[in-house]
Amino acid sequence: MNSSSAFVFVALVFTVYFIRRFFGSFSAMASPETVQKVQGYIKDNKIFVASKTYCPYCQATIKLLFEDKKLSEEQVFLLQLDTMKEGGEIQDALQEITGQRSVPNIFIGGSHIGGNSDIQALESSGKLDPLLKKVLG
């Protein structure tokens, strides 16, 4: 490889790197309106769960809250992001707000709990019931 083709190769690698960086971060950015809307979901609902219908971790969280804890749809605001046109943007907003992109993304009493493993850990340690009682009364 002579020096000019080496230069072209390096320039190409940098161009691809910057295009990927720019479009990668651009696609993961939610609009300020969506971020505000999601902050409203967190603040205005005692329990908010962002889920996807096909996700087994989400199903485990849903079972825990609705079947084991016998909570109702009035008590848990559940969004199935994969069934919503704006689901991707809501997921981007959740990532911006919490640093967590995966679902389920769970909030109780306006506080970020985390994912399914986090809520199951609260249950195993006996901390979930008092938290639900405090938030739901």
Ligand X SMILES: N[C@@H](CCC(=O)N[C@@H](CS)C(=O)NCC(=O)O)C(=O)O
Residues forming the site for ligand X (CB under 6 A): 52, 55-57, 102-104, 115-117
Q: Which of 26, 69, 18, 25 is closest to 47 using CA atoms?
A: 69
CB of 82 to ligand X, least distance (A): 8
CB of 48 to ligand X, least distance (A): 15
Residue with Cβ nearer ligand X (15 or 53): 53
6/28 with CB nearer ligand X: 28
CB of 17 or CB of 63, closer to ligand X: 63
The bridge status of strand 47-51 relative to strand 76-80 is: parallel
Cα–Cα distance for residue pair 22/16, rounded to 1 Å: 10
Rounded to whole angstroms, the Cα distance separating 109 from 136 reads 8
